[in-house]
């Protein structure tokens, strides 16, 4: 841990930053999880059919990111080998102690939901794959049960409804909880706020939608697949709505600090106008919020009159800007809260590391790992729809395009 | 249930995971955890086991009785021996010729035994004039000024203990006696 | 009922008795009164809890008093603490702050190296841009862990590695601590740090290992000005009890409700 150069009076133990890049990355990753899951639920549960082309991908993306959500935490711990203490002896009064259980419950729900969505395809691929080596893999994924009769599917659907109804609050819980970790720290005036969980959740949704939108367009460009204009429009619309609520709350939080002007505002004002000026006012507010608000607003207002190419370009650019917005917001909260001392009289000149255990490179590697999982997944199971979208040469027999069952159309993607 | 075989297997897997977790937990969590509160009771003993490195001025005086008695009788008896000389535990161990391994700590830097005071730095800690210090405390702005105001010669090697006995506060003027005729006002 | 409008006429006990009576008689006003009475209950409960948990309880409850009017800023306590506890460089279990006030309202706070090397007249912060007039007043404030009764650090520890002993001392279990740093963030006073040598959270223990051997904490022993007083507050004849009985004391950041057991004499409002 570095001993940073300080300005003013910083309490001796606070000349260090204890939570760095990894703790910025952790809420960023869980945010993408929550947002991607909401997108898939908008299709699966709330009948938003325009989002059907990305609903499976969003679910897989949520799962892939969730697999690595613990990695930044483990990398940050002083004793990662003791990490399971959080589940062995959880302290009920600690907000953090819930993490192990909330995380594993949500991971389980998400895994089962994906499993149910893909079960028919898994069984079909087990029976018809051209690669004998993959057969045991599909058999394991099917848990050895190859029953895809209509009755079995009906049971699956019932379970899915139950899981989805648990999954949405669980996704909100997982991310609202991350906000609570910060918002419930009364020792830190920059963090302590009941708005924190809500802001974290909404910015999580924004980042998840942005990531799904960005990946959908870019991967379809790379694979020369046809991009569904309605889907991109719906994604932009969803991102726009959530961005508006998110930014409104973020500004409310800041304005409230300024208007109440408590003892701590003297230093918080210097913080936001000084050390956080670029990451807050330039990246988070101007580039990440104001620009996407107007650009995506143009798409939302003019709908079909927007040329497809322009819409896709806007989707990619705004996706990047929104991801930057949320990354900056995480940075401003996590690092901003540690850049000033609890003496309320001094600042740290924090410099981010490039190398090292908690450096930027380690962070970038962790951010890339979910995409490796998504790639491996895409070789085993189709990302953008049913097994019929898989390359023909991978299977001995292509299944007929499935007809939606009456009354259950939303679950047959 | 005829078409829910895959769920039966799934639930079996979950049950195995939960039972496995509980089994591992029962092995890993210390037996005295949660006996009194949500913590490991023997952690208190672990903390209590640490040795006291500051042995106290009375313990010093057991061997160094001449200095100890003079210190106790003098005006300078509020600062303890170990304030200037450093913690004495290692010193007593070295003197008693006990093995001193297993002390990976900062006092190793004090020559494995005791710190040798500089004879000027330790005095400055208390007696250098600082606005916030109570005016009742005798203090000087700089050593040079102080020495020269008493008609002494200041060199870079000048130490407070040249004139002042830190144990008793008795002032002897070895350098001044040679160079200056004027007695120092007390 | 008049008690509602002229509470001065009736003592609080009488008021509550009246509440109990009328509560049984009148449904409407009764419920109003009972609710009022219920609203008071948490306070009564908190008071009882505080009494049970601090001063007059049986057994040993430790307390710490820092007399800021006596501190001379020599830094002996900081050096003694570092040597006694092997505190790594750049971290402090205790430290001394120097406060200097100027006539124009400017306040300078400083703690070079935690006060370990003492304080001198010339410090970087003294080079004030707005003038060079002499300071108006100044003092030193030693700081250490407050060993709060309602500790935010124990509250947030996810694994139960931070705990309070029966004597009211807040300790860290270095064998269970995962080193997440949440307690470091939760402590409003900056008393905790992550020890880079052990990878665990660390803090002032009021020299628990010395106290169980019948010794005083290293900082208390080494203080030449008697600015630090440690002892058993449940014993009315102890030195600390007598000091607490005859002085007006204050705690740091009382508005956060952590109820510190370290109390200060002569604390200025600028000390936070």
Q: What is the pLDDT of residue B183?
A: 45
Whether C238 contacts chain B with CB within 8 A = no
Domain C-terminal end among C34, C49, C64? C49
Residues A139 and A283 both lie in one domain: no
Whether B138 contacts chain C with CB within 8 A = no
Higher pLDDT, A170 or A206: A206
Residues A309 and A371 both lie in one domain: no
Residues A177 and A286 both lie in one domain: no
Enumerate neighbours of B (3 or more CB pairs within 8 A).
A, C
Residues B110 and B79 both lie in one domain: yes
Residues A272 and A357 both lie in one domain: no
Residues C164 and C184 both lie in one domain: yes
d(CA C252, CA C272): 6
d(CA C46, CA C49): 5
Q: Which of A83, A88, A94 sits opposite C155 (nearest CB)?
A: A94
d(CA B112, CA C29): 78
Nearest CA in chain A to B24: A88
Q: In chain A, what percentage of residues exceed pLDDT 90?
A: 69
Establish if B62 belongs to a structural domain: yes
Q: What is the pLDDT of residue B167?
A: 93
Q: What is the pLDDT of residue C130?
A: 58
> Which residues in A have their CB inside 8 Å of a CB on C?
1, 3, 8-9, 11-16, 18-19, 73, 76-80, 82-83, 85-86, 88-91, 93-97, 99, 181, 185-188, 263, 337-338, 341-345
Q: Which structural domain range is residue A387 located in?
A: 18-184+353-397
Query: How many beta-carbon pairs under 8 angstroms link A with C?
Result: 131
Establish if B22 belongs to a structural domain: no
Q: How many domains does chain B have?
A: 2
Residues C180 and C218 both lie in one domain: yes
Establish if A407 belongs to a structural domain: no
Tell whether the model's pLDDT for residue B10 goes beyond 70.
Answer: yes
Q: Which of A89, A92, A108 sits opposite B29 (nearest CB)?
A: A89
Whether C228 contacts chain B with CB within 8 A = no
State chain B's mean pLDDT as an integer. Answer: 83
Q: Which structural domain range is residue B157 located in?
A: 118-186
Establish if A93 belongs to a structural domain: yes
Residue A228 banded pLDDT, cuts 50, 70, 90: very high
Sign of CA dihedral A386, A391, A394, A395: positive
Q: How many domains does chain C have?
A: 2
Least confident of A216-225, A323-332, A353-362, B15-24: A353-362
Residues A131 and A158 both lie in one domain: yes
Q: What's the average model confidence in pLDDT over B90-109?
A: 59
3 state DSSP class of C99: strand
Q: What is the pLDDT of residue A248?
A: 97
Contact assignment for A9 to C111 by CB distance below 8 Å: yes
- Give the tens place of pLDDT for each residue, B121-134: 999 999 988 888 88
Contact assignment for B14 to A87 by CB distance below 8 Å: no
Residues of C in contact with B44 (CB under 8 A): 165, 171, 208
Residues B157 and B122 both lie in one domain: yes
- Give the tens place of pLDDT for each residue, B144-172: 989 999 888 888 889 999 899 999 888 88
Q: What is the pLDDT of residue A175?
A: 85
Give the gap in angstroms from C-alpha C59 to the nearest C-alpha of chain B. 16
Residues B168 and B140 both lie in one domain: yes
Q: Which of C82, C99, C218 sits opposite B106 (nearest CB)?
A: C82
Q: What is the pLDDT of residue A385?
A: 80
Q: How far is CA B10 from CA A37, A122, A152, B64, B66, in A?
A: 22, 15, 14, 77, 82
Residues C227 and C196 both lie in one domain: yes
Nearest CA in chain B to C211: B48
Residues of A in contact with C160 (CB under 8 A): 89-91
Sign of CA dihedral C158, C160, C164, C166: positive
Under 8 Å CB-to-CB from B68, ≥6 apart: which residues? B57, B58, B60, B61, B81
- Give the tens place of pLDDT for each residue, C211-253: 999 999 999 999 999 999 999 999 999 999 999 999 999 999 9
Q: What's the average model confidence in pLDDT over A49-68?
A: 94
Q: What's the average model confidence in pLDDT over C55-83?
A: 88
Higher pLDDT, C41 or B124: B124
Residues C130 and C221 both lie in one domain: yes
Residues B137 and B100 both lie in one domain: no
Q: What is the pLDDT of residue A182?
A: 95
Residues of B in contact with C75 (CB under 8 A): 125
Model ipTM value: 0.90
Q: Which of B34, B106, B124 sits opposite C83 (nearest CB)?
A: B106
Residues A242 and A93 both lie in one domain: no
- Give the tens place of pLDDT for each residue, C97-145: 999 888 878 888 889 899 998 887 655 445 555 556 778 889 999 999 9
Q: How many domains does chain A have?
A: 2
Residues A371 and A342 both lie in one domain: no
Tell whether the model's pLDDT for residue C268 goes beyond 80.
Answer: yes
Whether C192 contacts chain A with CB within 8 A = yes
What CATH number is attached to the domain comprising C161?
A: 3.30.70.20
Residues C67 and C192 both lie in one domain: yes
Residue A2 banded pLDDT, cuts 50, 70, 90: low
Residues A167 and A99 both lie in one domain: yes
Give the gap in angstroms from C-alpha A22 to the nearest C-alpha of chain C. 11
Q: What is the pLDDT of residue C46?
A: 54
Establish if A131 belongs to a structural domain: yes
Identify the residue among B4, B6, B8, B24 best suited for mutation to test binding to A, counting A beta carbons within 10 A and taking the highest: B6
Residues A172 and A295 both lie in one domain: no
Higher pLDDT, B169 or C96: C96
Q: What is the pLDDT of residue A413?
A: 36
Asked whether the whole model's pTM tops 0.90, one would answer no
Residues A239 and A138 both lie in one domain: no
Give B128's DSSP letter.
B
Establish if B92 belongs to a structural domain: yes
Q: How far is CA C131 from CA B22, C104, C126, C227, in A?
A: 68, 10, 10, 33
Q: What's the average model confidence in pLDDT over A330-344?
A: 94
Whether C254 contacts chain A with CB within 8 A = no
Residues C232 and C171 both lie in one domain: yes
Establish if B17 belongs to a structural domain: no
Q: What's the average model confidence in pLDDT over C2-14?
A: 45
Q: What's the average model confidence in pLDDT over A269-296?
A: 95
Establish if B7 belongs to a structural domain: no
Establish if A208 belongs to a structural domain: no
Nearest CA in chain C to B128: C120
Tell whether the model's pLDDT for residue A221 goes beyond 90.
Answer: yes
Q: What is the pLDDT of residue C45?
A: 52
- Chain A, residues 137-176, CB within 8 A of chain B, namely 142-145, 147, 149, 151-152, 154-155, 159
Establish if B125 belongs to a structural domain: yes
d(CA A334, CA A361): 19
Residues C75 and C34 both lie in one domain: no
Contact assignment for C163 to B125 by CB distance below 8 Å: no
Tell whether the model's pLDDT for residue B178 goes beyond 60.
Answer: no
Contact assignment for A151 to B5 by CB distance below 8 Å: no
Contact assignment for A145 to B34 by CB distance below 8 Å: no
Whether C56 contacts chain A with CB within 8 A = no
Residue A405 banded pLDDT, cuts 50, 70, 90: very low
Under 8 Å CB-to-CB from C172, ≥6 apart: which residues? C161, C162, C200, C201, C202, C203
Domain C-terminal end among B116, B144, B168? B116
Residue A397 banded pLDDT, cuts 50, 70, 90: confident
Residue C148 banded pLDDT, cuts 50, 70, 90: very high
Q: What's the average model confidence in pLDDT over A9-31?
A: 93
Residues C21 and C149 both lie in one domain: no
Domain C-terminal end among A319, A350, A381? A350
Higher pLDDT, A160 or C79: C79
Least confident of A125-129, C4-8, C62-66: C4-8
Nearest CA in chain B to C72: B133
Residues A42 and A167 both lie in one domain: yes
Residues C81 and C45 both lie in one domain: no
**In chain C, what is the straight-line distance between the N-terminal and C-terminal CA atoms, in Å?**
45
Residues of B in contact with A123 (CB under 8 A): none
Q: What is the pLDDT of residue A148?
A: 85
- Give the tens place of pLDDT for each residue, A377-388: 999 999 888 887
State chain A's mean pLDDT as an integer. Answer: 90
d(CA C213, CA A69): 46
Higher pLDDT, A348 or B91: A348
Domain C-terminal end among B116, B139, B165? B116
Q: Which structural domain range is residue C146 located in?
A: 54-272
Q: Which of C72, C100, C120 sits opposite B137 (nearest CB)?
A: C72
Residues C38 and C116 both lie in one domain: no
H or E segment and range at residue A295: helix A291-302
Q: What is the pLDDT of residue B91?
A: 80
Q: What is the pLDDT of residue C32?
A: 44
Q: What's the average model confidence in pLDDT over C19-37?
A: 47
Residue A353 banded pLDDT, cuts 50, 70, 90: confident
Nearest alpha carbon to residue A157 among A108, A119, A107, A124: A119
Tell whether the model's pLDDT for residue B3 goes beyond 90.
Answer: no
Establish if B48 belongs to a structural domain: no
Least confident of A88-92, A218-222, B98-102: B98-102
Tell whether the model's pLDDT for residue A284 goes beyond 80.
Answer: yes
Residues A235 and A291 both lie in one domain: yes
Least confident of A245-249, A305-309, B143-147, C53-57: C53-57
Residues C35 and C84 both lie in one domain: no
Q: What is the pLDDT of residue A282?
A: 96
Residues C41 and C121 both lie in one domain: no
Least confident of A154-163, C41-50, C99-108, C139-148: C41-50
Least confident of A167-176, A244-253, B58-67, B104-113: B104-113
Q: What's the average model confidence in pLDDT over A75-80?
A: 95
Establish if B23 belongs to a structural domain: no
Give the gap in angstroms from C-alpha B4 to the nearest C-alpha of chain A. 6
Based on C-alpha coordinates, what's the Rg of chain A? 23
Residues B183 and B129 both lie in one domain: yes
Domain C-terminal end among B116, B139, B169? B116
Q: Which of A88, A108, A145 sits opposite B6 (nearest CB)?
A: A145
């Amino acid at each position: 841990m570095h001993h940073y150069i300080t300005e003013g009076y910083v309490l001796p133990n606070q000349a260090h930053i204890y939570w760095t890049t990894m703790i910025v990355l952790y809420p960023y990753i869980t945010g993408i999880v929550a947002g991607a899951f909401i997108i898939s639920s908008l299709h699966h549960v709330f009948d938003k059919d325009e989002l059907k082309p990305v609903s499976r991908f969003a679910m897989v993306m949520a799962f892939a990111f969730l697999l690595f959500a613990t990695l930044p935490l483990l990398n940050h711990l002083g004793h990662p080998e003791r990490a399971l203490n959080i589940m062995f002896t959880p302290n009920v009064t600690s907000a953090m102690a819930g993490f192990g259980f909330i995380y594993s419950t949500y991971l389980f729900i998400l895994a089962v939901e994906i499993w149910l969505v893909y079960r028919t395809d898994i069984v079909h691929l087990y029976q018809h794959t051209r690669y004998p080596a993959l057969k045991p893999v599909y058999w394991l994924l099917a848990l050895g049960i190859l029953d895809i009769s209509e009755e079995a599917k009906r049971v699956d659907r019932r379970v899915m409804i139950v899981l989805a109804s648990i999954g949405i609050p669980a996704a909100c819980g997982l991310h609202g909880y991350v906000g609570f970790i910060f918002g419930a720290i009364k020792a830190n005036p920059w963090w302590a706020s009941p708005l924190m969980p809500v802001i974290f959740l909404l910015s999580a949704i924004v980042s998840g939608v942005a990531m799904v939108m960005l990946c959908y367009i870019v991967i379809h460009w790379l694979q020369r697949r046809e991009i569904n204009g309605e889907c991109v429009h719906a994604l932009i619309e969803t991102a726009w709505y959530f961005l508006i609520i998110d930014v409104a709350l973020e500004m409310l939080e800041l304005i409230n600090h300024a208007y109440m002007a408590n003892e701590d505002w003297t230093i918080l004002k210097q913080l936001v106008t000084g050390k956080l000026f670029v990451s807050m006012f330039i990246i988070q507010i101007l580039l990440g919020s104001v620009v996407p608000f107007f650009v995506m607003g143009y798409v939302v207002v003019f709908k079909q009159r927007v040329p497809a190419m322009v819409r896709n370009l806007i989707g990619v650019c705004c996706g990047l800007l929104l991801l930057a917005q949320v990354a900056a917001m995480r940075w401003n909260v996590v690092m901003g809260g540690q850049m000033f001392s609890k003496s309320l009289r001094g600042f740290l000149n924090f410099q981010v590391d490039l190398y090292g255990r908690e450096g930027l490179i380690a962070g970038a590697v962790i951010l890339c790992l979910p995409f490796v999982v998504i790639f491996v997944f895409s070789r085993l199971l189709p990302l953008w729809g049913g097994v019929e979208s898989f390359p023909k040469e991978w299977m001995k027999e292509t299944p007929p395009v499935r007809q939606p069952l009456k009354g259950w159309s939303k679950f047959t993607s | 249930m005829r078409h829910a075989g895959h769920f039966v297997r799934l639930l079996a897997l979950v049950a195995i995971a939960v039972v496995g977790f509980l089994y591992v937990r029962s092995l890993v969590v210390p037996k005295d955890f949660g006996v009194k509160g949500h913590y490991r009771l023997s952690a208190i003993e672990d903390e209590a086991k640490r040795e006291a490195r500051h042995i106290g001025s009375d313990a010093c005086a057991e061997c160094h009785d001449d200095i100890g008695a003079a210190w106790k009788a003098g005006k300078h008896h509020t600062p303890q021996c170990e304030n200037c000389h450093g913690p004495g535990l290692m010193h007593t161990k070295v003197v008693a010729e006990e093995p001193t391994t297993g002390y990976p700590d900062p006092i190793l830097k004090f020559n494995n035994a005791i710190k040798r005071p500089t004879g000027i730095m330790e005095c400055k800690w208390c007696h250098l004039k600082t606005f916030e210090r109570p005016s009742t405390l005798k203090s000087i702005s700089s050593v040079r000024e102080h020495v020269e105001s008493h008609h002494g010669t200041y060199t870079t090697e000048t130490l407070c203990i040249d004139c002042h006995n830190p144990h008793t506060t008795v002032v002897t003027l070895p350098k001044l006696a040679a160079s200056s005729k004027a007695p120092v006002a007390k | 009922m008049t008690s509602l409008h002229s509470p001065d006429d009736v003592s609080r006990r009488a008021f509550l008795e009246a509440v109990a009576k009328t509560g049984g008689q009148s449904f409407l006003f009764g419920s109003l009164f009972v609710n009022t009475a219920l609203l008071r209950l948490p306070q009564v409960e908190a008071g009882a809890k505080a009494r049970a948990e601090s001063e007059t309880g049986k057994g040993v409850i430790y307390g710490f008093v820092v007399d800021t009017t006596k501190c001379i800023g020599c830094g002996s306590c900081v050096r003694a603490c570092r040597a006694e506890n092997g505190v790594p460089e750049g971290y402090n279990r205790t430290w001394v702050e120097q406060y200097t006030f100027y006539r124009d309202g400017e306040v300078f706070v400083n703690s070079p190296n935690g006060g370990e090397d003492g304080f001198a007249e010339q410090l970087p912060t003294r080079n004030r841009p707005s003038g060079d007039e002499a300071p108006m007043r100044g003092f030193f404030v030693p700081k250490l862990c407050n060993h709060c009764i309602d500790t935010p650090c124990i509250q947030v520890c996810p694994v139960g590695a931070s705990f309070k002993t029966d004597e009211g001392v807040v300790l860290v279990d270095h064998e269970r601590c995962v080193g997440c740093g949440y307690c470091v963030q939760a402590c409003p006073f900056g008393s905790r740090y992550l020890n880079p040598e052990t990878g665990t959270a660390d803090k002032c223990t009021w020299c628990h290992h010395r106290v169980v051997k019948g010794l005083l904490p290293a900082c208390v022993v080494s203080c030449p000005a008697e600015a630090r007083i440690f002892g058993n507050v449940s014993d009315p004849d102890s030195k600390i009890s007598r000091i607490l009985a005859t002085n007006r004391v204050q705690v740091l950041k009382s508005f956060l409700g952590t109820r510190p057991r370290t109390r200060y004499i002569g604390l200025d409002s600028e000390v936070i």
